[in-house]
Structure 1
Amino acid sequence: MSYCVNPNCPHPENPEFSERCQACGSRLLLRDRYRVVKGLGQGGFGATFLAQDEALPGEPSCVIKQLRPSGTAPHVMQMARELFEREAKTLGSIGNHPQVPRLLDYFEEREQFYLVQEYINGLTLQQEVKRNGMLSEAGVKQFLSEILPLTQYIHERKVIHRDIKPANLIRRAQDSRLVLIDFGAVKNQVSQAATSASGQTALTAYAIGTPGFAPPEQMAMRPVYASDVYALGVTCIYLLTGKSPKDLDYNPTTGEMMWEHLVHLSQHLQEVLRKMLEVSVRNRYQSAEEVLRALEMEPYLESLANSLVSQPV
């Protein structure tokens, strides 16, 4: 099937090798090489599609993200274009990591912006939990040992993901490694590239993320590296309980997530998660590296506790 990416098309499905959409007349081959075969998701920023690259042998699959500016006025388009190109280059640089999809191409066509990324075959952590059940404490520690160095790598390149959650973590089928997808920076900045009456532009409009996974400072448009740490903490709670943030209770006074009664964990991991989930960013771990160091302290703390207990009175 060929799929039309025109956001206003009433019937986007077309026969496999069609050149133009039968419903709206739009050309179906993007950049004369990418044939979209189905939609993967849609949001306020645009849409995501599965496509085939007909310019390469074997026509390998790829993911295409269509980003829609919030207006078509020349100054809006120019701002969107500059932000898009800058952020695409950022994605290109972090895509050199084996746990981040490679950026294969980016372009503008018919006043829409497109990112082409490597297709990752596998299940998301959300799908895994629904299929196989919750993780044990050991499973969550293994998850953190794999995802925290990646988060640190991203932060060292001055990028805040802003949408870490189980649905954006795919376990790649070929090697079982976790891959972090759907970086928020580009889709946010391009879709909001319009100057409002107050003069606010996409440079300051950073309210992005998934409610429940995004901490208060991020929802208040002031994301920091520790915002990703909070989202990782919420992801751990999901992996341990199978419950999304919307299904949990919160302390009405502090706004803290109430999760301890749902799990049986060592005191050390409980304390680490509690600090990752601090509502106040000042009290939270400030970096992924800090969380890693805290986790690595566990055997030393256990050894110290045992030595104190075993000492004669």
Structure 2
Amino acid sequence: MNIIVDGRYQIIKRLGKGGFAHTYLAKNLAALGEPQCVVKQLRPKVEHPRMLQLFKLEAAILDRFQHSQIPKTVECFEHQGDFFMVQDFVAGDDLSKEFTIGHRWSEAKVIGFLREMLKVLGYVHQKQAIHRDIKPANIIRRWDNGQLYLIDFGAVQDLEGDSLVPMTVVGTPGYHAPEQAAGLATFGSDIYALGMTAIQFLTGHYPLHLPKNAAHEVLWRDLTKVSDRLATILEQMTRVECIDRYDCTMAVLADLETLSRCDNDIPVSSSRSIDAEFSHQRLTSKIMTMAILVGLGLVGTVGVVSRIQSVGGMGGGSISDSPLDLMHE
């Protein structure tokens, strides 16, 4: 393939394509050893002034993060009228590749998944950011050590820069929380999406296909074998009303650790130390939740300007038929 972006990044193949951007595996020709990287090109299906703003915000947010399980941004630039972002490449497959309908993860595997991702998500929230598109396709498992990485911050909300007002609706149906579908999100919205992801792996069914009760909560417990303790945690993670959900990731972790203590399988730290360490996160979340409730009461139903879908996983994409089609089809 003979496409080189900005004279430095040689495109190898496409990794993902969505309503917001296209992603490509590339080689950095200007770096020692020509390491592989991910080139993300802004290619919105629906033109909107917020798109470029969100694209630049993603780069700024990732530049602010320093976490071993979140890919770093190398740079963000404009080339021939298009906007590009270059990120570290994570050699692995996104979790959508591990899912097949009817296949169920064990309870122990789901608990391990939640514990690992809640810590990563807790870091994001500590940095005053809401991911807003947690789902299997945006979580990569590394091939070499099995470690999970959180990717695709294209829908991120920066609480340090954004006010709590109705915004462009983002997220993926089946995973995003009800308040997020109305244009408003909290830390609890990410917790809801992570809970839905765990339920998907536990039941072997996509969240969008699960039945709901009169309160619009998903009905899933009869589709799998699960302990009452874990089911209770997942139900609290996915409550329809944000005020009824966990107020921060550490609160979920504390309950998971209590569950693990009962099973005598994993040494854990005390929930008291967790609460002390993350009291600021919990207080911030409570304030945000109350603001969301007030906002929903004031604004009513927010019209959907557009729904930004995931860029798609960074593993295993199809190669474009022709070099010209790859970047501008």
2:4 to 15, 29, 34: 29
Once the two structures are superposed, residues 17-43 of structure 1 have per-residue CA deviations (whole angstroms, 9 ceiling, x without a partner) of xxxxxxxxxxx4222101122222222
* 1:282 CA drift (Å): 0.8
Q: Provide closer, same or farther for how the CA distance between residues 299 and 118 of structure 1 changes in structure 2, counting only shifts above 3 A.
A: closer
TM-score by length of structure 1 reads 0.75
Asked whether the equivalents of residues 63 and 116 of structure 1 are also in contact (C-alpha less than 8 Å), the reply is yes
1:278 to 239, 244, 255: 239
Q: Provide closer, same or farther for how the CA distance between residues 56 and 158 of structure 1 changes in structure 2, counting only shifts above 3 A.
A: same
CA distance in 2, matches of 1:81, 1:264: 45
SS in 2 for 1:50: strand
* 1:206 CA drift (Å): 3.3
SS in 2 for 1:236: helix
Q: Are 2:182 and 1:182 aligned?
A: no
Asked whether the equivalents of residues 206 and 223 of structure 1 are also in contact (C-alpha less than 8 Å), the reply is no
CA distance in 2, matches of 1:246, 1:47: 25
The answer for the alignment partner of 2:61 in structure 1 is: 90
Percent identical pairs in the alignment equals 41
* 1:58 CA drift (Å): 2.9
The answer for the alignment partner of 1:246 in structure 2 is: 208
Q: Provide closer, same or farther for how the CA distance between residues 205 and 68 of structure 1 changes in structure 2, counting only shifts above 3 A.
A: farther
1:172 to 142, 148, 154: 142
The answer for the alignment partner of 2:128 in structure 1 is: 158
1:63 to 27, 38, 59: 38
* 1:269 CA drift (Å): 0.5
1:214 to 176, 181, 200: 176
Amino acid at match of 2:98: E
Q: Which has the higher contact order (CA 8 A, sep 6+)?
A: 2
1:264 to 208, 212, 225: 225
How large is the Cα RMSD of the aligned pairs? 2.7
Once the two structures are superposed, residues 194-248 of structure 1 have per-residue CA deviations (whole angstroms, 9 ceiling, x without a partner) of xxxxxxxxx8533111100001111111011101000110111111122111221
TM-score by length of structure 2 reads 0.71
Q: Are 2:86 and 1:125 aligned?
A: no
CA distance in 1, matches of 2:260, 2:36: 45
CA distance in 1, matches of 2:75, 2:97: 28
The answer for the alignment partner of 2:250 in structure 1 is: 289
* 1:82 CA drift (Å): 6.2
Once the two structures are superposed, residues 78-119 of structure 1 have per-residue CA deviations (whole angstroms, 9 ceiling, x without a partner) of x8766644442211122x211111111111123322111111
SS in 2 for 1:207: coil
CA distance in 2, matches of 1:35, 1:139: 38
Q: Provide closer, same or farther for how the CA distance between residues 87 and 124 of structure 1 changes in structure 2, counting only shifts above 3 A.
A: closer
Amino acid at match of 1:64: V
* Higher gyration radius (CA): 1
